[in-house]
Amino acid sequence: MKQGLASSSAEEKYFYHVIDLNAVNHSVLRPQVEFSDSEWVPAYQWLEKEIGFYPLFLAVGDGDATYVTGYQNQWRVHIGGTVIDGKYVPKKRKAGEFPNFVLFAFRQSALQGCFTDYQWWNIVLTDVLCERPIGKALYRYLFKKSWSRSKWLRTANGDGSAVQLLVPELDLSKAAFAWARNAKSAQALRDMGFENVSVKRLMLGH
């Protein structure tokens, strides 16, 4: 059985998407506003106006790109904190409070969509949320309309944090492989019909 990246060709790169196990079906995933983090919805809706669809986001590249998805954050114990009576009190997850993420990987030949520069997206995201207009130069930096698909992939495959792919939907049943946080979650995916499922933990602080 194929076990994630370890058994794949050293040259093969993927698109990666992470989703909570409770939202997984062996079928087509379509993004919905009501399931998005409300804080980011204005930015996603701005993208929708620009590219013609409400997006799902995929990281692009080699194994390092998996960290862009946030898959590793499901093991994070410290998740911020609050100030109480002038003193910072850290917030920690307790047993039963950790998310249960699944990472799906898709061969780069299997998906089409809209590429954007991931680093510039973080700037656009902030500007949209702050209700600042997106100027022509920033728009060009984000979408790089003159770039071919091959140039996007070349860039992404050399730097897993450089590029993201936006798609209107994602057929999870077509994934090349999937990672789960533990054996129970992996078995739940196999029971749904997914193949090439392995248990994989990513270290924090990458």
CA torsion 90-95-100-103 (nearest 10°) is 70
> Is residue 157 within a helix (H) or strand (E), and if so which, with residue range?
helix 149-158
Tokens read off for 124: 């656009």
pLDDT band of residue 139 (cuts 50, 70, 90) is very high
Which tokens is 143 given?
A: 């979408």
* Mean pLDDT value of segment 121-140: 95
Q: Which of these, 103, 126, 93, lies nearest to 15 by C-alpha position?
A: 103
Six token digits for residue 90: 């850290």
Q: What pLDDT was estimated at residue 79?
A: 66
Mean pLDDT of the residues in the chain: 89
Q: What is the dihedral of CA 81, 37, 204, 141, to 10 degrees?
A: -120
> Burial level of 25, CB count in 10 A (0-12/13-18/19+)?
exposed
Quick one: pLDDT at residue 169? 97
Nearest to 68 by CA among 7, 119, 141, 123: 119
Q: 161-181, pLDDT tens digit by residue?
A: 999 999 999 999 999 999 999
Of the ranges 28-42, 69-83, 127-141, which one carries the lowest mean pLDDT score? 69-83
What is the DSSP track for 40-73? THHHHHHHHHHHSSPPEEEEEESGGGGGGGTGGG
Q: Rounded to two decimals, what is the model's pTM?
A: 0.87
pLDDT at site 76:
79
